[in-house]
Amino acid sequence: MILILPTNKSSFNITVTVQTSSAQEICIVGKDTNKPSTFYFRRKGVVDGKRKFTLRFPMSPLQMELKIYNGANECTPRDEDKTFKVIDLKFAPIQTNDVWMNAETIEFVKFAKQFSDNASILSLGEYRSDNGVYKIHYLDVIRENGKETTNPARIGHESGIIELSKRDFFHYSVPMRMIILLHEYSHKYMNNIVDREIDDETSADINALYIYLGLGFPRIEATNAFLNVFLDAANKTNNKRYKIINDFITKFDQGKFTVS
């Protein structure tokens, strides 16, 4: 099933109910029809009977392609796949939370949204926020002492300049790009507010999630972003970070917004 939606950069939730007669892996993708590799939602899940998916779109393009398909039969022409049915599809206002953001964070969020929305078509180079305070150096890859690293992003603790790897960002979804940018921002501009060291990774994770979740971004895309980073650096510390991240998301959805 493919729908072309005139989303006009609006914010909304979509609830999709899918029905199958046997266990099937159903995939749901929302992407910009006019930009390469610009995905706003990517989700897959096994459906055996009936299952409801809630899709969060705090950001959208001018026109979005919403594609719902069986992962085993992606190449099947539309409307010919009889392994599943979309029995209900409803639009609703976006669900956000009233989280605290100062003027500086609001300005960075605007900058991050603009960059995340266009990262697949932007050239390598330097980009600045409208107020000139925040800077991104968009690189082919991030290097340390001349050698390529697997790191998709980092921030200068003194300069505040965020370096990004286009090799990674090109393939990330828009929400994944947002959580990575908010994580880097949090190192320098949020950790100190909660009396944490600038290099405290867990605090940067939680501060970034606090903003990201409050804006209504999808939970699954945040965990996917962290998993992508942790897979390149699998260790006990990152395993602990991932558990803390999942715990915070659960507590946030229960109305517990405290950051630390």
pLDDT, one tens digit per residue, over 218-244 is 999 999 999 888 776 667 888 899 899
Whether the per-residue pLDDT at 110 is higher than 90: the answer is yes
Q: Please check the confidence at residue 92 and state whether its pLDDT lies above 60.
A: yes
pLDDT of residue 98: 85
Sheet holding 24-32, edge to edge: 2-5, 64-70, 24-32, 39-47
- Distance of alpha carbon 33 from alpha carbon 147, whole angstroms: 36
pLDDT at 257 (0 to 100): 67
The total number of residues written for the chain in this structure: 260
Average pLDDT over the chain, rounded to whole?
93
High-pLDDT (> 90) share of the chain, %: 82
Q: Whose structure tokens read 């992962």?
A: 71
35 pLDDT more than 60 = yes
Report the pLDDT value the prediction gives residue 229, as an integer from 0 to 100: 81
- CA atoms of 157 and 145, how far apart (whole Å): 17
Of the pLDDT bands very low, low, confident and very high (cuts 50, 70, 90), residue 141 is very high
> Under a CB-based contact definition with an 8 Å cutoff, are residues 54 and 88 in contact?
no
CA distances to 142, 143, 151, 155, 192 from 147, rounded to whole Å, are 8, 5, 12, 18, 31
Question: In degrees to the nearest 10, what's the CA dihedral of 6, 10, 12, 15?
Answer: 20
CA distance 126 to 189: 20
Reported confidence tier of residue 27, pLDDT bands at 50, 70, 90: very high
Mean pLDDT of 93-104: 91
Q: How far is CA 17 from the centre of its chain?
A: 23
